[in-house]
């Protein structure tokens, strides 16, 4: 992406003012998107963004500058600005010897989306629209989206690291709206992988669209969500976002260092039921958060955060792992070259357990079965959370019965971890997602097996 001599020169300039560490992050990202709404193509776009971010660290101070000018002069100017921001004065020149590090890809790409005609992509949207509308006469609106991206990155730093990655992602989503006596109800379904256009050889967009439409139709006859504290069974895959938000963020080392995590200082302690093992895994092939390297050049890795209920470690970026003398965990991520990296999750999930999923439901006399959770909020300092239920059902006499309309799950992350009393053997990953933190968004995945929480508060209207 950039001549290696220019990289060395840029790093040397960045260190001239006395920096302890310098890094250059180069990004070349191309993307395309298509939106089909109300029976017609509403948007068809593509774009490309190229640039570099340069970081210089002096003690506890970080200087950062970014530029879209990847010439030697443009990079030198950005490096000088970052170095000056970190510390004025010092002088001198430091030569950098770069050693290329090979980063094996989690999976191979068969067909780059950029090689596929836009007309072919639009045809997928039309097929999804027709399938969703064909699911029932009550479907009044269908919105289908297609998106792909190819993100090539290079990371080099004054420790001598030089490494690159080529990240491809392909995504397809469908939202259907059904109208009836209870008003308008929505259903949503998506599929996304870190693979190319071969995604559509493996998944049928018509099936995806029908699933979205059927969820919307089902809600037309749904009962209002109950209110109160009761047992909650979360289905495989769809409840993973709860653990991402209510537990995962609290295990990010930057929040721990700030004292903004309920898990701070608790490594080695029991924080969950012994059935719970929580993992963050950037090497999980094809999943939405998979990567060969993170955005600081560290190899993607599988990190066990909670093992058999015991807190074993946090997630680390390069800066904090250097400060604490800890191995890098591959969790330094950034939205783009215009942003500083921070500790972020990749694919976060709870391992399968010993229990039969059907028996978990049968052993629950009454409660709520949550098939899919939507967005939510969490206070990482306390662990308190609120999540929306986008697909849920009543459990009556040990059986899943009538659907309920959207309500909220309200609880506390550490309390949920410690009170889970059943974990199924049916692990599944959920839908692809974007995780927001401090104004930055990055792609992530999450997943769980079926599990039961004996007491959670449901915020409904019944």
Residue 459 is inside which H or E element, if any?
Answer: strand 451-459
Calpha distance 330→253 (Å, rounded): 12
- Looking at the domain assignment, is residue 280 inside a domain? yes
- 126: exposed, middle or buried (C-beta count within 10 Å: 0-12, 13-18, 19+)? middle
Contact of 171 with 197, CB cutoff 8 Å: no
- Looking at the domain assignment, is residue 199 inside a domain? no
What are 211-227's pLDDT values in tens digits?
999 999 999 989 999 99
The pLDDT assigned to 92 comes to 44
- Looking at the domain assignment, is residue 79 inside a domain? yes
Reduce the DSSP state of residue 208 to 3 states and report it: helix
What are 8-65's pLDDT values in tens digits?
999 999 998 888 999 999 999 999 999 999 889 999 999 999 999 999 999 888 999 9
- What are the residues facing 174 on neighbouring strands? 144, 189
- Looking at the domain assignment, is residue 162 inside a domain? no
The pLDDT assigned to 91 comes to 40
**Tens digit of pLDDT per residue, the chain (462 long)?**
899 999 999 999 999 888 899 999 999 999 999 999 988 999 999 999 999 999 999 988 899 999 999 999 999 999 999 998 887 544 444 455 767 888 888 899 999 999 999 999 999 999 999 999 999 999 999 999 999 999 999 999 999 999 999 999 999 999 999 999 878 999 999 999 999 999 999 999 999 999 999 999 999 989 999 999 999 999 999 889 999 988 999 999 999 999 999 999 999 999 999 999 999 999 999 999 999 999 999 999 999 999 999 999 999 999 899 889 999 999 999 999 999 999 999 999 999 999 999 999 999 999 999 999 988 888 988 999 999 999 999 999 999 999 998 799 999 999 999 999 999 999 999 999 999 999 999 999 999 999 999 999 999 877
- What are the residues facing 7 on neighbouring strands? none
- Looking at the domain assignment, is residue 57 inside a domain? yes
The pLDDT assigned to 21 comes to 94
Contact of 207 with 177, CB cutoff 8 Å: no
The pLDDT assigned to 99 comes to 79
- Looking at the domain assignment, is residue 149 inside a domain? no
- Looking at the domain assignment, is residue 447 inside a domain? yes
Same structural domain for residues 237 and 95? no
Cα Rg for the chain, rounded, in angstroms? Answer: 24
- The bridge status of strand 21-37 relative to strand 310-311 is unpaired
Query: At which of 100, 118, 133 does a domain end?
Result: 100
Domain that holds residue 93: 4-30+46-100
- Number of independent structural domains in the chain: 2
Residue 126 is inside which H or E element, if any?
Answer: helix 118-133
Reduce the DSSP state of residue 370 to 3 states and report it: strand
Q: Which long-range contacts (CB under 8 A, 24 or more apart) does 384-390 make?
A: 384/411, 384/412, 384/413, 385/242, 385/245, 385/246, 385/409, 385/410, 385/411, 385/412, 385/413, 386/410, 386/459, 387/241, 387/242, 387/245, 389/225, 390/188
The pLDDT assigned to 462 comes to 73
**What is the biggest distance separating any 2 CA atoms in the chain, rounded to whole angstroms?**
76
Contact of 184 with 221, CB cutoff 8 Å: no
Q: Tell me how far the alpha carbon of residue 382 is from its chain's centroid.
A: 22
- Looking at the domain assignment, is residue 67 inside a domain? yes
327: CB partners within 8 A, 6+ apart: 316, 321
């Amino acid at each position: 992406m950039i001549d290696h001599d220019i990289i060395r020169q840029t790093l040397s300039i960045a260190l001239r003012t006395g920096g302890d560490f310098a890094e250059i992050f180069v990004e070349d990202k191309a993307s395309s998107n298509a939106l089909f709404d109300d029976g017609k193509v509403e948007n068809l776009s593509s774009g490309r963004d190229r640039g570099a971010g340069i970081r210089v660290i002096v003690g506890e101070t970080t200087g950062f500058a970014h530029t879209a000018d990847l010439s030697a002069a443009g990079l030198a100017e950005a490096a000088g600005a970052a170095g000056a921001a970190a510390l004025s004065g010092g002088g001198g020149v430091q030569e950098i010897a770069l050693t290329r590090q090979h980063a094996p890809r989690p999976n191979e790409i068969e067909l780059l989306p950029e090689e596929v005609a836009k007309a072919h992509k639009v045809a997928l949207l039309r097929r999804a629209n027709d399938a969703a509308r064909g699911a029932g006469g009550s479907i009044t609106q269908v919105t289908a989206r297609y998106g792909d991206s190819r993100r090539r990155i290079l990371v080099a730093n004054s420790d001598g690291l030089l490494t690159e990655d080529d990240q491809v992602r392909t995504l397809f989503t469908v939202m259907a709206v059904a109208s009836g006596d209870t008003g308008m109800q929505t259903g949503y379904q998506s599929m996304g992988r870190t693979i190319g256009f071969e995604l559509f050889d493996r998944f049928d967009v018509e099936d995806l669209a029908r699933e979205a439409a059927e969820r919307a139709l089902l809600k037309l006859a749904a009962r209002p969500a109950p209110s109160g504290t009761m047992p909650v069974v979360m289905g495989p895959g769809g409840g993973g976002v709860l653990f991402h938000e209510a537990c995962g963020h609290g295990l990010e080392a930057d929040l721990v260092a700030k004292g903004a995590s309920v898990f701070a200082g608790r490594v080695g302690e029991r924080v969950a039921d012994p059935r719970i093992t929580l993992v963050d895994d950037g090497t999980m092939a094809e999943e939405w958060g998979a990567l060969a390297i993170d955005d600081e050049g560290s190899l993607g890795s599988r990190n066990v955060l909670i093992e058999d209920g015991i807190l074993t470690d946090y997630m680390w970026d390069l800066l904090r792992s250097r400060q604490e003398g800890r191995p890098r965990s591959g969790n330094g991520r950034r939205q783009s070259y215009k942003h500083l990296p921070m500790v972020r999750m990749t694919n976060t999930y709870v391992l399968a357990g010993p229990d039969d999923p059907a028996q978990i439901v049968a052993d629950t006399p009454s409660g709520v079965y949550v098939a899919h959770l939507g967005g939510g909020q969490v206070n990482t300092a306390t662990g308190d959370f609120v999540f929306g239920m986008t697909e849920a059902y009543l459990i009556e006499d040990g059986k899943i019965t009538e659907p309920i309309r959207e309500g909220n799950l309200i609880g506390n992350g550490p309390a949920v971890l410690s009170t889970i009393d059943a974990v199924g053997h049916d692990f599944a990953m959920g839908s692809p997602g974007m995780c927001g933190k401090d104004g930055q968004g990055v792609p992530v995945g999450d997943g769980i097996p079926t599990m039961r929480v004996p007491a959670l508060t449901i915020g409904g209207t019944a």
